[in-house]
Amino acid sequence: QKEVEQDPGPLSVPEGAIVSLNCTYSNSAFQYFMWYRQYSRKGPELLMYTYSSGNKEDGRFTAQVDKSSKYISLFIRDSQPSDSATYLCAMSAGGTSYGKLTFGQGTILTVHP
């Protein structure tokens, strides 16, 4: 079993739709949860960061973490064609693993006009 599971999609939605992206994980030591956006042939760009359980909102993006279920989500409201990219969840534990990120496979999202 992979440490982090993410549905690779692809996911295609119309402009203006609400998008839900999810990851599950098995390592209970993970404390830091990130979402990255990666455009084709580019490096990942940090979108959202959450520590432990809870919700975090930033503009059209909302990140949720449920540590009891080992499940994290990213919601995109009013999706735009410019949101078309691969979305990667990433997680990190503290302690000796500080800073080491474990990534999900990435979900390919296409928002069509």
Of 71, 77, 74, the closest CA to residue 53 belongs to: 71
| Burial of 43: CB neighbours in 10 Å, binned 0-12, 13-18, 19+ | exposed
**Of the two residues 17 and 22, which places its CB atom closer to another protein in the complex?**
22
SS3 103: strand
| Residue placing its CB nearer to another protein in the complex, 36 or 83 | 36
Q: Closest CB to another protein among 15 and 45?
A: 45
Closest CB 56 distance from another protein, rounded Å: 11
Write down the least CB distance from residue 40 to another protein, Å: 11
